[in-house]
Amino acid sequence: MIDFSKVNILIIGDIMLDGFYHSKSIRESPEAPIPIIESFKSEQFLGGSGNVLRNVLSLGGNAEIISSVGRDFIGREVIKELKKLNIDCSSIIKIADMDTTHKQRYFIDEKPIYRLDVDSKYQKGLFLNKKKIFLDKLKDKHIVILSDYNKGFLDEEFIKFIISHSNLPVIVDPKKKDFKCYKNSFCLTPNVLEIQMALNDFNSLQLLENKIIKLKNQLNIENIVVTKSEEGMCLFSDSDVTNFTAENIEKPDVVGAGDTVIACLALCIASGLNLPKSIAISLKAASIVVGKQGTNYVTKKELDRCSSNLF
């Protein structure tokens, strides 16, 4: 068992709202070959960097978050959800005429029908404001997470500023195709497709090992941890490649699993655990969260129960 209660994490990145709308079909419509439905459940959760935050808190750590929302209904809902977690929202920049990113997932009889995405129309010109907030919030932190969903808040200039002005390990969940802006970071956690896109090479991960090590060395990134969904994770550290096998989970729901991985990884590293052990524990956390539905998180009790032999 390990106590995360003294770990302070600074999370920076795109925040969003994930909505889930469940309906059940009553009968077929006489007007067209479509079902008549009635709504019976709707839920909304913090997504993106907000879900990373939820995972850190539910695992017993402490965190502050820097992000932006629009001055719209969804933005107000995001603030409301943050306040439920007793989070100080002073570092959430409110931007006029910007749509807060949100994803609406619709289900009929538990089957997914479609997803509606509304992405932020991010306004530039806030760099100086973001820089000041970052420097203020950096105090008393142990590690920095960049939750980059490529929605605009983490522009390349800001990312480079964070990495160059932080004396702490910076862990990045990358979404940009060009990894150059993440140069000198402590760890990247791309999935297989993201690393393939960064290399512009869509061969299997095994065939890409030399290219990944070369990229890591060129960008002076200490570690790259590639997440492989149900197959586990692969650590590229120095010239070594280490594979970590995941548990077999029936009908996994991978929504937000990457957020759980980076949250748990940061907590373990900041607690003094080495990277292989931190990855093994994070895999356990991921196996728990993919067994749940929707944008979800792992609790400290759940993690302790299934990974006590790893601590």
- Convert the pLDDT of each residue in 178-205 to its tens digit: 999 999 999 999 999 999 999 999 999 9
Write the pLDDT tens digit of every residue in 200-230.
Answer: 999 999 999 999 999 999 999 999 999 998 7
Residue 25 in any domain: the answer is no
Does residue 102 lie within any of the structural domains? Answer: no
Give pLDDT, residue 297.
Answer: 84
What is the structure's pLDDT at 231? 85
Task: Find the radius of gyration of the CA atoms of the chain.
Answer: 20
Determine how β-strand 35-48 pairs with β-strand 111-118.
unpaired
The reply to whether 177 falls in a domain is yes
- pLDDT tier at 295, thresholds 50, 70, 90: confident
User: Is residue 111 a part of any domain in this protein?
Assistant: no
Position 133 pLDDT exceeds 80: yes
Lowest-confidence pick of 17-21, 120-124, 178-182, 238-242: 120-124
What is the pLDDT of the chain when averaged over all its residues? 91
Parent domain of 227 = 8-14+49-95+129-310
Active site residue 240: no
Using CA atoms, how far residue 188 sits from 32, 43, 253, 255, in Å, is: 50, 31, 23, 19
- With beta carbons less than 8 A apart as the criterion, state whether 46 and 81 touch: yes
Do the domain assignments include residue 222? yes
Greater model confidence, 212 or 297 = 212
**pLDDT the model gives residue 82:** 98
- Label residue 285 by pLDDT band (50, 70, 90): very high
Model pLDDT for residues 45-98, shown as the tens digit of each residue? 999 999 999 999 999 999 999 999 999 999 999 999 999 999 999 999 999 888
**Residue 123 scores a pLDDT above 90:** no
Whether residue 276 is predicted with pLDDT greater than 80 in this model: the reply is yes
Helix 257-270 to helix 275-289 angle (10° resolution) is 150
In a domain, residue 1? The reply is no
Asked if 27 and 36 touch (Cβ cutoff 8 Å), the reply is yes
Residues 230-264 pLDDT 10s = 789 999 998 789 999 877 776 766 677 889 999 99
Dihedral Cα 130, 11, 228, 101, nearest 10 deg: -60
* Other CB atoms within 10 Å distance of the CB of residue 177: 11
Number of domains in the chain: 1
Task: Give me the pLDDT at residue 283, please.
Answer: 92
* Mean pLDDT computed over 160-172: 97
Q: Rounded CA gap, 161 and 211, in Å?
A: 27
Residue 118 inside a domain? The answer is no
Structure tokens at 209: 């090992």
Query: Has residue 228 been placed in a domain?
Result: yes
Instruction: Select which of 18, 148, 173, 259 is catalytic.
Output: 259
CATH number reported for the structural domain that contains residue 231 in this entry: 3.40.1190.20
| pLDDT for position 97 | 83
Query: What pLDDT, on a 0 to 100 scale, did the predictor assign at position 119?
Result: 86
How many CB atoms sit inside 10 A of residue 290's CB?
22
User: What does 221-242 look like in DSSP terms, one character per residue?
Assistant: -SEEEEE-GGG-EEEEETTEEE
Give the residue with greater pLDDT, 311 vs 291. 291
